Structure 1
């Protein structure tokens, strides 16, 4: 018996009730995103044993949508999930302050797949919980998070944090944060993974030494390695940590902490469901929930998200787990002509139709990125990737293809020059000069660099932005690139605005005319004609420059009675405003 879901068809012996339920869910989703007819046949590509890339594209002009999903069986040998910090530390000294592009993180750490993870305050500090290699890097903030045990179990829950320090005499004080900016009256612990220094310029600091890393769910016995002193930029010790305290917390430190004391730290993560997180060794935060216990459940207001974050269509990233324990990593592109994005309700339906029994939203917008072997597979809305604080990675053992040719190449000449609005299918040939066989083509993974466009998993390239980049094809570990130069397409929009003349003369104005292609890119070299009623222009025509604009100086006949200005270019007409 064949049943359909969002991403294609599968053979299954199921009850009639289950068929009806799946059909209703699928129909509801299609109604949200226009019609089922708009969806092309979903494409599945094997990335490794136990890991599959699934792409579904709605080509309906009224509701275009690009969805990419990676499904990973964490029970398969060699398949595991991990959290990774941008640049390997929380705070850096470069302009991104510690952030890194997802593709760079994937390539640097040798991962198979990576997606952006938690929100961040434009530094490398993830806002929610992060655990990597068992080390607690960032504390939870009472929002949804996804965690992984050493055995590959996936846990999605809303988690909160408690921390404390106990002095040698038994006095206790709460520790409010791990590796983040310290607030008033707070105590925060800074580990070497944070960076070189805490950055605190007031309060009290002291160093501690201990074996191992900051972990949750256990008592950590440490030795005070430096006497508490006024914060003055002391370095974080590589064999311990630095504790910084302010206000009342600093007063407690001065009263109870002495050089050489043995004190105890403890950090606990509590899940809303009551499930233990003590065995979690990798985790990233996000929020809100999308699916919980098999039902759509969006707790955005409870997790303190603004309403427009839920109800407006944006690019989205999500993670989930199905009833077999498989991990689902999903991106929905948005803010582009090829994909409009999704609300949280729509994203929740995507996750549920993928089979998620639990799922959460991750950071989205310009951060939404899916990378395979360091190549971008989705279409980031800003073109080039946005550096992010952390990423959720998948590792897996690559499979050697038994049917692949020794070599394969692009049939197109390099570089490929293409104008916006002129998408085309990219062809490949084998080492004998013949088109690649269908059995090999099904295993090819397509991607891009440079942010100039999007290539789907059938090899169709859509140029979106001016500039230079490349189309990438991967077959296992093998990879070839086709350089691409995207130029402006045919003029598609004409806009004219009236601006005051810098001289202040009320009779004189400046008219700025902008010509753009269908992708919103400026079009140079276009002749623009101007007609003025009730005045005169300095010239009757002008040609757009590299920025796609042309300027005219207009003088009105009467200062108190401005006339009308009309411009024409490439068959387009616009009245200046």
Structure 2
């Protein structure tokens, strides 16, 4: 009898109890749900044929504002009300307590946030990000922003960032994603802001006309224009060089250079590169900590196949009796087994959320339910 019992347990361990369900959500979009009761895991995988002409991916900021939060399903609902045909969505970048995303972000071709370095306390360089261009080609890179202001006299000055709080002795741009007014700056700084309205766009160069100048703090940001904010030595310099009515040129660049970026959002860290498990090669990649990497947590991730035709959105539930979560190595192995050739970790934990056809299909781990997050990635029909 004792031998039979041992054989039974051996049989169970060799053949784990795994239930796999696949559902076609839309033409070119398949939802795969894996319930593994042996390993105590619940996994949701959305496979998207991103090369279908009617399907695209869109990075969406909570409330279309840098410093606010929404749930992923709230963002989906808001976009559907405004006329978008949203198939699915997943939470995206890590974010600050006020909702500001950690890394660069572009939504529908408009810059939400652009910085040279991510605001991550763990990574001295910049976190990896995922981008898609106008043709829905996909890229995972450590994108770095650079910008230039070209004055009427031909002088070129560096733009340090777009939206987000400025540094001393710098030039910063603010658009409608920042909110109604420019953010506060140090009272000791001398600040001069210029109101710019767009004239035309030629490639990556934008032409603006200087319509107004102010030294007031918390100045109103025009809906159809931008604020060029300068402080200290740059404020004194630009106050002399820029006259109302002048035409200014501004050049935005991201390195590596990708033309016509439509959507861009961050994650942390890169998990799969050219089919290789990057966590196995370097357990502290991009400043990842042991606690974050080696403990089992809910996970969210995004990736694409070797031919860049299939986009994968993946969530793993965790911190719950029915699903314990995954380590980063396990999550990366899952990605590779499913066909991901290049993959990126997104914000996980209580943020992990996948919405398909208006329904949250995973089980967010927070006791209060779906968490307010900084942004999300949507799969839409054009």
TM-score under structure 2 length normalisation: 0.85
**Could you say which residue in structure 2 is the equivalent of 1:131?**
106
**Residue aligning to 1:391:** 376
Q: Is the 8 A contact 1:182 1:200 kept in 2?
A: no
Q: How far did 1:377 drift?
A: 0.6
For residue 27 of structure 1, what is the aligned residue in structure 2? none
Query: Which residue does the alignment assign to 2:41?
Result: 65
What is residue 62 of structure 2 aligned with on the other side? 86
Structure with the higher fraction of residues in helix conformation:
2
Gap runs ≥5 in structure 2: 1-11, 81-85, 119-125
Counterparts of residues 279-358 of structure 1 (less than 5 Å): 279-298=260-279, 301-324=284-307, 325-358=309-342
1:118/1:126 contact within 8 Å kept? yes
Instruction: Name which of 183, 205, 208 aligns with 2:196.
Output: 208
Residue 378 of structure 1: SS of its match in structure 2?
coil
Q: Is 1:145–1:360's contact at 8 Å kept on the other side of the alignment?
A: yes
Alignment partner of 2:31 out of 53, 62, 70? 53
**Aligned residue pair count:** 349
Larger Rg: 1
Paired residue for 2:51? 75
Does structure 2 retain, via aligned residues, the 8 Å contact 1:39–1:56?
no
For residue 356 of structure 1, give the secondary structure of its aligned residue in structure 2: coil
Residues 212/194 of structure 1: CA separation in 2 closer, same or farther (3 Å cut): farther
Q: CA deviation at 1:232?
A: 2.1
Counterparts of 2:151 and 2:14 in 1: how far apart (Å)? 64
C-alpha separation in 2, matches of 1:211 and 1:388: 35
CA distance in 1, matches of 2:167, 2:352: 30
The reply to whether residue 218 of structure 1 matches residue 201 of structure 2 is: no
Residues 182 and 217 in structure 2, CA contact (< 8 A), matched pair in contact too: no
Matched, 1:122 2:97: yes
Q: d(CA) in 2 for partners of 1:43 and 1:284?
A: 30
Distance 1:230 1:153, change over 3 A: same
Partner Cα distance (1:35, 1:72) in 2: 33
Q: Write the deviation string for residues 391-446 of structure 1: whole angstroms up to 9, x where unpaired.
A: 1000148xxxxxxxxxxxxxxxxxxxxxxxxxxxxxxxxxxxxxxxxxxxxxxxxx
For residue 329 of structure 2, give the secondary structure of its aligned residue in structure 1.
helix
Runs of 5+ in structure 1 lacking a partner? 1-33, 92-97, 398-577
Q: 8 Å contact 2:315–2:353 — kept in the other structure?
A: yes
Seen in structure 2, the aligned counterparts of structure 1 residues 211 and 369 have a Cα distance that, compared at 3 Å, is farther
Give me the TM-score of the superposition, normalised by structure 1.
Answer: 0.57
Query: CA–CA distance in 2 between the matches of 1:389 and 1:316?
Result: 16
Q: Which has the higher contact order (CA 8 A, sep 6+)?
A: 2
Tell me what 1:19 maps to: none
Q: For the structure 1 residues 220 and 64, does the alpha-carbon distance in structure 2 shift closer, same or farther, using more than 3 Å as the test?
A: same
**Contact 1:116/1:367, CA 8 A, preserved across alignment:** yes
Instruction: Report deviation, 1:289.
Output: 0.6
State the partner residue of 1:514: none
Deviation at 1:349, TM superposition (A): 0.6
Classify 1:211/1:119 alpha carbon distance in 2 versus 1 (closer, same or farther; 3 Å).
Answer: farther
In 2, distance between residues paired with 1:83 and 1:169? 37
CA shift, 1:346, in A, is 1.2
Deviation (angstroms), 1:300? 7.0
Whole-Å separation in 2 of the counterparts to 1:356 and 1:212: 40
State the Cα RMSD in Å: 2.2
1:247 aligned residue: 232
